[in-house]
Structure 1
C-alpha cells in the first residue's frame, strides 16, 4: 500500500464528503477510492468514516487522523519544493485572507500587482469578516486587524488603523460639528454593531475613558451600509479609518472628534513557518509588507 497516496485519497474523501466526488477530483474510479480507504482502515485498525447511502462523515478517529495527514502531506510538498528550488522561484497557488472591506479596497489591488510581477503564481482569496484559522483552513497568509493572540504564527506589523467617527459635510453643516463626546447625544447615530454592540461609544479622555450612551433608529452589521447611510446624511457613524478612504478622499465624509479617539488598532501580515516558508509565501509577504507600510491610512495619517 502506498501510504502517501492513501493519505491523499483519505484527505480528498474527507474534504469532498464522498467517495464518488473524491474519485472525480482524483481522476480515479469510485471502486478504487473505496478499496484504498478500506485498505487504509484495515492497516490502521480503525474506522475512518461513517458511511450511509446519503453521506460520508469522519469518525472521531478520522478527525484526529485528518489533522496529522494534512501536516504530513504539507511537509512532503515542502520537501519536494525545496529540492526542486521552489524556495528560490515563487510559483504555485497562494491563498490569502482578510476582512471583507479591507480585502476589497486594499488587498485586491495589491494582489493584481503581485500577479503581474510573478507570472507563475496564482492567487485564491477568502475575504470574510471573521478570524480565519490559517492551519485549519489551509491558507497561506492573513492580514489581521487588532491585537493578536499568542500563537506559533509569524506576524509582521505593517501599521495601524483608527476607530473614527464620521459624517457627511452637509449633515454637519446642518446639525453642527460635535466638539466633545457628549455632543453626540444631540445627533442622529448610525450604529455599526461590529464596533459597538451596545448603544454607546467609548472615547479617550484626559482623566480616562469616556462612555457616552446614545439612542439610534438604525443599527447595521456591515460597514458598507453604515458608510452609505453616513454619506446619505443619515447621521454620525463609527467605523475603522481604512473603511472610508475613498469617501474621505472624495470629500463625501469628514472625521470628527479625532482628539478623543481611542488608541489605534495594529495591522499585521500573518503567516506560517517563518523563515522556512515556501518561496511563494515569502515573496508575497515581502511584497505586501513593503506596499502596506507605505500607505498613509495605515499610519494614522488620515484626517
Structure 2
C-alpha cells in the first residue's frame, strides 16, 4: 500500500480523533481507513492507536511517529510548492499560542496582517496565561515571555519587556511616591493571581536581587483587572511594561521605583525543533516578527 497515503490517513485519524471522521475528511470509506492503519501497523510492527468501542487514542509510539510523518508530508508539500512556483503563497492551517493580554494587544494584529496577505491560510489562536506544551497540543508557533529552558524549540528574539510598578497620579499624590521597596509597606498594593503569582516581589539593587514580602489589599485573577484597579486609584500594582504601556503613555498610570527594576525579560517567537521548517511557518514568523518589532520598539 502507498506509504504516503498511509501517512495521510494516520494524520487524519490522529487529528480527527476517530476513523469515521477521518474517512469523511479524506472522502474515503471507513473500511479503507481501517485497512490503511492496520497495514501501516503491520509494516511497522507497532500499535499506533488504541481502539475501543467509544474512542480511538494514539499510542506513545504513534505520537512519536506522527511528528515525523507530519514533517515528511510538510517536506513533500514544500517541495511541490517550490517546483510549481507557489512557495511564496503558503496555504493550510496554523496553531499559534501567546499569553492572553500580549496576544490580544500584539499578536492578533500580526495574525490579521498574515491572514490578509495569505487568503488560503487559517489560524487557530490559543491565548492562554500558561506554558503550552507545543508538541502535545499541536502548536506550530508561539510567543513566550521569559527565559527559554526548553531545548526542543527554536527561538527568535524579537524584543524585551520590563517588570514595572505603577500607580495612578492621584493615588501617588495622596499617598506619596515610594523611594525604595521597603516603602511599599506603607502603600495599598494590588496583585494578579496569574501564573507567576508570588507573595514576594523581587527587585534589583547594585547587581543583586532583593525580595520584599507584600500583603496585597486587592488580588484579582487577571492582569486587566489589577491594572484597571490601579488606574482607578486603589493602589500600586506590578505588571509587565507592555501591559501598562497605553495607560502610562496617556498619563493614567505612572511608573515608580524605576531604579530598582529587574533586568529586562526577553520576548521570543518560538517553534518546534524540526529539521525543516514548513513554508507556512516561516512566512508567519516573518510576518509576526515585523509586526511585533513595530509595536514594541
- TM-score tier, shorter chain, comes to 0.7 to 0.9
How many aligned positions are there? 297
- Cα offset, 1:274, TM superposition: 9.3
Structure 1 pair 138/197, CA: closer, same or farther in 2 (3 Å)? closer
Give distance in 1, aligned partners of 2:243 and 2:117.
Answer: 27
Pairwise CA distance, 1:207:
6.3
**Segment drifting more, 67-76 vs 129-138:** 129-138
For the residue of structure 2 that corresponds to 1:293, the secondary structure is helix
Residues 1:255 and 2:252 are matched in the alignment: no
User: Scaled by the length of structure 1, what TM-score is found?
Assistant: 0.85
Structure 1 gap ranges (5+): none
Q: Deviations over 1:7-63 (max 9, x none)?
A: 221222222322222222222222322232223223333332222211222334433
Give the TM-score, by structure 2 length.
0.86
Q: Check conservation: 2:102, 2:243, Cα contact below 8 A.
A: yes
Counterpart position of 2:10: 10
The root-mean-square deviation of aligned C-alpha atoms, in Å, is 2.7
Give the C-alpha shift of residue 233 in structure 1.
2.5
For the 8 Å contact 2:78–2:87, the answer to whether it is kept is no
Deviation at 1:262, TM superposition (A): 0.6
Q: Show the counterpart of 2:235.
A: 235
By how many angstroms is 1:196 displaced? 5.1
1:56–1:120 distance in 2 versus 1, CA, 3 Å: closer
Structure 1 residues 63 and 289: CA distance shift in structure 2, 3 A:
closer
SS at match of 2:87: coil
Per the alignment, residue 130 of structure 2 pairs with 130
Matched residue, 2:140? 140
Report the CA distance shift for 1:227/1:102 in structure 2 as closer, same or farther (over 3 A). Answer: same
Q: Tell me, in whole angstroms, the C-alpha distance in 1 between the residues paired with 2:140 and 2:291.
A: 18
Report what 2:55 is aligned to: 55
> How do residues 249-288 of structure 1 correspond to structure 2 at under 5 angstroms?
249-271=249-271, 277-288=277-288
Q: In the TM superposition, what whole-angstrom CA distance separates every residue of 1:219-265 from its partner, at most 9, and x where no partner exists?
A: 33421222222223222111111112232233322211111111110
Say whether the 8 Å CA contact 1:23–1:29 is kept in structure 2.
yes
Q: How does 1:1-303 map to 2 (within 5 A)?
A: 1-149=1-149, 151=151, 153-194=153-194, 197-206=197-206, 208-271=208-271, 277-295=277-295, 298-299=296-297
> Structure 1 pair 276/48, CA: closer, same or farther in 2 (3 Å)?
closer
Q: Which moved further from structure 2: 235-244 or 216-225?
A: 216-225
Describe the shift of the 1:250–1:89 C-alpha distance in structure 2 as closer, same or farther (beyond 3 A). Answer: same
Name the stretch that deviates more: 121-130 or 234-243. 121-130
